[in-house]
Structure 1
Amino acid sequence: MIQLTRRHLLTAAGAAAVAAGLSACSDDGEGSTEGLDGKRAGAMEGFKAGDQFKATEPLSFSIMMLSNQAYPYKADWPFFKELTARTNVTLESTAVPGSDYNQKRSVVVSAGDAPMIIPKTYHPDEEAFIAGGAILPVSDYVDLMPHFKDKVARWNLQANLDGFKAEDGKYYLLPGLHENTWQDYSLAVRTDVMEKLKLTAPTTWDDLTGVLREMKKAYPDQYPLSDRWSTPPQPGANNLFNLVGTSYGTRAGWGWNPMEWDATAARFVYSGSMDQYRQTLEYVHNLVKEGLLDPESFTQTDDVARQKFATGKSFVMSCNAQTLVNEARKDIAKLPGAKVAKMILPIGPAGATLPGHTRLENGIMISKKALESKNFVAMMQFIDWLWYSDAGLMFSKWGIEGQTYTGKVDDGSFKLDPGIKWAGLNPDATKDLQVDYGFFNGVFAYGGSTAMLNSQFSEEEKAFQAEMNKREIRPVAPPAPLTIEEREQVTLWDSALKDHVFQNTLKFALGQRPLSEWDAYVKELEGKNATKYVDIVNKAYERYKKAHG
């Protein structure tokens, strides 16, 4: 979340192996608290939803801590001191720079050297560690987590969680939970240029093309759209492909997933060969062909993209709520009269819809060795309170009532202390909620109610969210967990397929390969076993449906 991009690429992996001595579970793989004798030291008796967790003795838990470049890790953040005061828990952090996080996580988890708590993991990355038994099937232990269970039930999230299940019917990642679907990423546009050219805000992607054409007419030597978030260079994987692909009803760019659920046909299809994927590429290619989209958008660094925007060489660029305020507005501050706003996400052929899978966030893996601890139950209660209780979420996001904020989110009286800034709130304050205090850290602060989500937004962003909330939510894909043998097989195919899709995505977009060769490209995917891949996934879907309903 925040500064980390969401490149959720399929991780090649093995399927689940159940470690000896794990607790029994119910038919649907959801938790049981049996078999935990000797592992309850420090735990609270009768811990239930709404309770403040506080260990009955001082405890410490190891955690892998992503150090965000925008707010680098500090051991002396007030967040940690107050967390210990409230919970009697001290976190022993292994801090890792964001650029190295995924690689470091893979190495230490696979080697069995990971900390007990491993957050900031995007599904399906956890699947890489299931077969080796390095992580726990967390669904076995959700009965220890009353806040998590309460939100799943009240917010009707079980179908979303089902999509995380492995072939054994269990899931191995505790995701952040959102009450509703929400859309953060869109495009930032220079509204002063729009006003000067008498242009109206685009409703559809075709409308956006028209806006860019008018900008090009007025500034023929410039590219109206020069985008960011394409580095480190990864052909075909960026935010623009994701935004357009979502609007066309497929997975592309950051949102890439090799399998897309076709609800009409009730089967999975290969995303990179869908006609909707071709339409996505055609749209982006036409922007490049007409000189409306800078072809360097797919390779340039963020600094270069921001510099073009800051100097008036471009007028449109990807953004989210925070980068709009923290970066784009600051970048154009020296341009007289320059203004920028986040565009309402344009509508494409998929209609005014959003994908349902965005209700689950990145989440937490639990190291197998955590189960060896006499404090295991207390650790699960601690995780439940900090990541899933309203009080824990309020603390991790906003800090300490009376010190960093006042009021409540549920009655709209919440106010961040005027001496502290965060994103668009109190931009002239001298203290930063993340940098100086350690709150609103992406390792801890994600998910929550819509009211809590709205508490972080300016009135401008609330208006954006209100428009997004009017859109229909598309159904989530059903579970299709693979066996160990099936996963080993598709692992052999996936990397080559993905590379071919991404390389040709960029070639088609830039015009280096004509779209008249689309059928040939699809046959190339078939030659790389895309059809066999889809058949295996659909077979797994049918098998799971028969076994679990």
Structure 2
Amino acid sequence: MGITTRWMGTATTIVLMTSLIVGCAGNGNNAGSNGNSGQTMMNTSSGNAGGAEASGTLQATGMPITQEPIELTFFTGLAGSNGSTPFEERLVYKEMEQLSNIKVNFQLVPFDGLTEKRNLALANGDYPDAFFTARVPSADLMRYGSEGVFVQLDELLEQYAPNLTALMEKYPALRKALTMPNGHIYSMPTFYDPEFLPMLIGTPLWIKQDWLEQLGMDEPQTIDEYYDYLVAVKSTDLNGNGKLDEIPYSGTGIFPLIEQLEGAWGVGTRGLGHKFVDVNPENNELRFFRTTDRYKEVLQFINKLYAEGLIDPDIFTQDSKTLYAKGSEERLASTINPNPITQFNGENYVGLGALKGPHGDQLYSHIKVPMVWPGAFAITDKNQHPEATVRWMDYFYGEEGAKLFFMGKEGESYETTTDGTLEFMDHIKNNPDGLTLDQALTNYVSWMGGSYPGYVKVDWFKGSESLPSAIDAGEKAAPHVIDDLWYNFNYTDEETEFMRTIGADMHTYIREMEAKFINGSASFKEWDKYVRTIENMGLEDYMTIYQTAADRYNGN
């Protein structure tokens, strides 16, 4: 059964009314925020130099990109950890201007207000030449691309983006995920090297190696051995402070733990890009795995940990600051975060590999989609130089440009060691003014805080995921990683509205009930009723849409 005509008519009316309300509200709230009104953004964009392509100054290859200087203006997201230094003053873009003959003016918009301001700019037509680090969702790429607001990049990428094109040829799933349901590409992504496994894992399940040694235990290889370790921690003063204040497991929210362990029950077989639907290995068909008996067993195991006091009772409410304070007191026996040494100076932690489950399953399912932000960069119809803009952005997907983007300039911000490794210079790693690494980097680069367009590879990315402990965790996971990792699907406008409404309601209900099953406020005797509720919410239509999107993805 497909989506009913009555539902779609209602949904269309809701969407139109919501758009009008959001547009009116945005007009009243946006004026002057961040120092830029929508009108300023529009005027800045229209002030670009004459079309480089039309006047014949574009160079198809090499540097500079244009023979005559041109200017572009980007709507640009800014993370809180990225400092306040204007991007124009950072080494990476000063160097790029000299190389390319293109000056970029960055309109910085803090992430906490980014979605509202981006939506308002698109709705009102007050946007500049491109959206950079602006987290444009796939649904908006499809909508505004079809309307002509975002420039169709299919041919432009083939002609002027050799670096990104080469990546799409090497990794066909990247092209699949960038291609919208209408068959066109409208953006350039954040792309993690699929071989950079620690980056795709992101946040391993860490345990204390020295505590294992004190307990005379080997590193857990199975779910049961992990449970035994947690039990032993609870009754042993491992930090030596005279109190049993050790916390067997703690984190921020319960879902990271679920996602780390579910592979031990053979679910989540397509990775973190598909948190509700995977492929059943027994028949190779789509399944809504969150209502399966195997997934029920995952929740029952975690409920057991919670009931026995092996999970921090603050798990559902604490933030990362609270978690890291506990870690700095050497109280965490196991936890999930990017890396304990960088987050709270936690020493002697090792990342676990895929744990074997009760039925013999051993799958490392906690793998992120390599294409993290499909809409990291999108060119608009205001842009008089789309070819030059594509060339400018594509430079950062190649090795030379990626080194500049992530490391800065050799001799000023980084140096090359005798074995060819790139390392930040000492005034950045051990800043004399006491600045953190991120703070010291704000004079040189702009990637801190994420969401940037570009190609992340261990050769030139020096975050916590490239530390030896993270590399070691990746090597442990490698033998059991997902064979067929799916990137995110793209939906038509009609499918998107279903997922935004009925689909979102289903997701919310599921998360709320799972938390209740784990903390004991809901009994597993209610499981069958819970499954029926999900089915009655529209599961059949949900799976019809998912199958259509999967078929389209596989056919791209």
What TM bracket, shorter-length normalisation?
Answer: 0.7 to 0.9
In structure 1, how many angstroms separate the alpha carbons of the residues matched to 2:381 and 2:224?
54
Contact 1:176 1:447 in 2 (8 A): yes
**1:479-518 superposed matches below 5 A:** 482-518=491-527
Contact 1:504 1:513 in 2 (8 A): yes
Amino acid at match of 2:298: T
Indicate the residue corresponding to 1:88 in structure 2: 101
Larger helix proportion, structure 1 or 2?
A: 2
| Structure 2 residue 332 is the aligned partner of structure 1 residue 326 | no
Question: 1:377 pairs with 377, 387, 391, which one?
Answer: 387
| CA-CA distance at 1:354 after TM superposition | 4.8
Amino acid at match of 2:423: K
| Structure 2 residue 130 is the aligned partner of structure 1 residue 126 | no
Question: 1:64 pairs with 70, 75, 94, which one?
Answer: 75
Indicate the residue corresponding to 1:99 in structure 2: 112
| Structure 2 residue 268 is the aligned partner of structure 1 residue 250 | yes
Amino acid at match of 2:473: F
Count of residue pairs brought into register by the alignment: 485
Contact 1:250 1:274 in 2 (8 A): no
Change (3 A) 1:273 1:61: farther
Amino acid at match of 1:151: L
Indicate the residue corresponding to 1:437 in structure 2: 441
| CA-CA distance at 1:313 after TM superposition | 4.1
Indicate the residue corresponding to 1:26 in structure 2: none
Question: 2:156 pairs with 141, 147, 150, which one?
Answer: 141
Question: 1:294 pairs with 294, 312, 332, which one?
Answer: 312
In structure 1, how many angstroms separate the alpha carbons of the residues matched to 2:467 and 2:133?
26
SS at match of 1:93: strand
| CA-CA distance at 1:542 after TM superposition | 4.5
SS at match of 1:474: coil
| CA-CA distance at 1:292 after TM superposition | 0.5
Contact 2:369 2:488 in 1 (8 A): no
Q: C-alpha offsets along residues 264-285 of structure 1, whole Å, 9 cap, x if unaligned? A: 5343332432444323322322
Contact 2:369 2:487 in 1 (8 A): no
Larger mean CA deviation between 140-149 and 89-98 belongs to: 89-98
Contact 2:178 2:374 in 1 (8 A): no
Contact 2:204 2:473 in 1 (8 A): no
TM-score by length of 2: 0.76
| CA-CA distance at 1:122 after TM superposition | 6.2
Larger mean CA deviation between 54-63 and 248-257 belongs to: 248-257
In structure 1, how many angstroms separate the alpha carbons of the residues matched to 2:351 and 2:399?
31
In structure 2, how many angstroms separate the alpha carbons of the residues matched to 1:90 and 1:342?
45
Indicate the residue corresponding to 2:172 in structure 1: 158
**1:203-222 superposed matches below 5 A:** 203-219=221-237, 222=245
SS at match of 2:81: coil
| Structure 2 residue 125 is the aligned partner of structure 1 residue 112 | yes
Question: 1:418 pairs with 405, 422, 426, which one?
Answer: 426
Contact 1:244 1:280 in 2 (8 A): yes
| CA-CA distance at 1:145 after TM superposition | 0.9
**Structure 1 residues not aligned, in runs of 5+:** 1-11, 15-36, 231-235, 333-338
| Structure 2 residue 295 is the aligned partner of structure 1 residue 277 | yes
Aligned CA RMSD, in angstroms, stands at 3.6
In structure 1, how many angstroms separate the alpha carbons of the residues matched to 2:76 and 2:453?
13
**1:303-452 superposed matches below 5 A:** 303-321=321-339, 324-329=340-345, 339-349=347-357, 350-354=361-365, 358-367=369-378, 370-386=380-396, 388-407=397-416, 412-421=420-429, 432-438=436-442, 439=445, 440-441=447-448, 442-444=450-452, 447-452=455-460
**Structure 2 residues not aligned, in runs of 5+:** 1-11, 16-50, 238-242
Indicate the residue corresponding to 1:227 in structure 2: 250
SS at match of 1:401: coil
Contact 1:419 1:429 in 2 (8 A): no
Q: C-alpha offsets along residues 17-49 of structure 1, whole Å, 9 cap, x if unaligned? A: xxxxxxxxxxxxxxxxxxxx97566864232xx
Amino acid at match of 1:240: L
SS at match of 1:215: helix
Amino acid at match of 1:382: W
